């Protein structure tokens, strides 16, 4: 049994491809959720956020005022704990 491609088949395929490309382009240029922030911050980000020295960040860690993780030699601090430090300062 032989099957032939008709002009209508090509037209439908063209419409399908155009729709597929349009969808892909729209998804590629759709703004990402920028507001979504990492739960953990590197030491450098904490220093910038609080405008403090590396020693002060270490003091926060050793005094257990903020939760932290050490991953491959780098310290990561819990964003929520850092933000609570801001709110505690303003009370």
Mean pLDDT of 77-89: 83
3 state SS for 36-48: CCCCEEEHHHHHH
- Does 8 reside within a domain? no
Task: Give the domain range for residue 71.
Answer: 40-89
pLDDT at 40: 92
- Does 4 reside within a domain? no
Q: Over the stretch 21-70, which tens digit does the pLDDT of each residue have?
A: 988 888 877 765 544 567 999 999 999 988 999 999 999 999 999 999 99
Question: What is the C-alpha separation between 52 and 39, in angstroms, rounded?
Answer: 20
- Enter the pTM of the model: 0.55
Look at the chain and report how many structural domains it folds into: 1
Structure tokens at 86: 């801001």
- Does 71 reside within a domain? yes
pLDDT at 34: 45
Structure tokens at 21: 């490309």
Nearest alpha carbon to residue 75 among 89, 90, 55, 50: 55
């Amino acid at each position: 049994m032989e099957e032939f491609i008709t002009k209508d088949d090509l037209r439908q395929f063209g419409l399908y491809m155009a729709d597929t490309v349009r969808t892909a382009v729209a998804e590629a240029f759709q703004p990402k959720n920028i507001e979504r922030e990492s739960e953990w911050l590197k030491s450098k980000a904490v220093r910038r956020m609080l405008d403090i020295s590396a020693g002060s960040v270490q003091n926060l860690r050793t005094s257990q005022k903020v939760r932290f993780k050490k991953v491959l030699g780098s310290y990561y601090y819990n964003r929520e704990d850092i933000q609570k430090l801001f709110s505690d300062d303003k009370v």
